[in-house]
Amino acid sequence: MKLYRFLSEDDTAAFCHKITAALNAGWALHGGPTYAFDAAHGVMRCGQAVVKEVPGDYTPDVKLGEQ
């Protein structure tokens, strides 16, 4: 099955670490990153979609972050 996750974080090194951890866990980038201003918190936020092929069948109770 193909899994999809959208990871987001404030525009800090934490975002890069989150994406790096996903890549090292076998996830692959899907498309380009996105950036937006979070007016409620006064910060820029980053987002990146990642995908991964894993065995099995999809059900809504699959824990994406544990794959």
pTM: 0.86
- Residues 14-40 have pLDDT tens digits of 999 999 999 999 999 999 999 999 999
* Burial class of residue 28 (count of CB atoms within 10 Å of its CB; 0-12, 13-18, 19+): exposed
- Residues 38-67 have pLDDT tens digits of 999 999 999 999 999 999 888 888 888 788
Q: Give the integer Cα–Cα distance in Å for 42 and 50.
A: 26
Contact in structure between 56 and 64 (CB atoms under 8 Å): no
